[in-house]
Amino acid sequence: MTDTTSSTESSSTATTDPTADATVGDRLRAPPTLLRGLGVVWILVVSWWIGGLVGVGVGLAIALTVRVARPVVAVAIAHAGLLILLPTLTTLSSIVGLVLFELGLLAVLLSERPFEFPTAVLTVAFGIVLVTTVVAGLLWAGHLAATGMLLTLVAVVAYGIHRYERVTLGLVVDEPADRGEIQ
């Protein structure tokens, strides 16, 4: 006769332990990591530097969201909080605050495993291009030009995502070289 209490105890411990890895669908969801914690602390400090007491409130709301939701949702909520902290980007200090805030969000976003390195690099590059384009348009050409650049950039990225999705789903087929043309 085998001892079933030890096996049931270990399985119940594994399911109730919040630090244990859990499978969600076909992905392995890792426990909160040091990178996520450092990102949250960084966001709190930067929010305090940007907005004082209001910034601390926004930072705590973001920290709570990071704790209870997936990092992607927390980043979306954090950007809404960023609009409270930085309503305009007309000074160098506000641009520096934006970049520092985004670094903390990047740490939170990259803390969810598994992440693919090329995807992370493309996300960072897109963010840098987006922020640079909008800020340059605002500073040099005005609101109308910045809006036009932003809409064009979003349209190009949306089309690229659409094409990438079609290729990865296998909806794009290669056409044969001979199309029945008369030679």
The SS3 assignment for 14 reads: helix
* Side chain identity, residue 56: V
The 10s digit of each residue's pLDDT in 115-169 is: 667 766 777 777 777 777 777 777 777 777 777 877 887 788 788 878 877 887 7
- pLDDT at site 85: 86
Check residue 26 and report its DSSP letter.
T
What are the C-alpha distances in Å from 167 to residues 99, 112, 141, 160, 172? 33, 26, 37, 11, 5
The 10s digit of each residue's pLDDT in 96-118 is: 888 888 888 888 887 876 666 77
The 10s digit of each residue's pLDDT in 37-65 is: 888 999 999 999 998 899 999 999 999 99
Q: What is the pTM of this model?
A: 0.52
- pLDDT at site 181: 62
- pLDDT at site 56: 92
**Structure-model confidence comparison of residues 3 and 80, the more confident one:** 80
- pLDDT at site 8: 46
Tokens of 121: 């690099």
CB 48 within 8 A of CB 56: yes
CA pair distance 40, 64, nearest whole angstrom = 10
Whose tokens are 């029945």? That residue is 180
CA pair distance 75, 156, nearest whole angstrom = 23
- pLDDT at site 119: 67
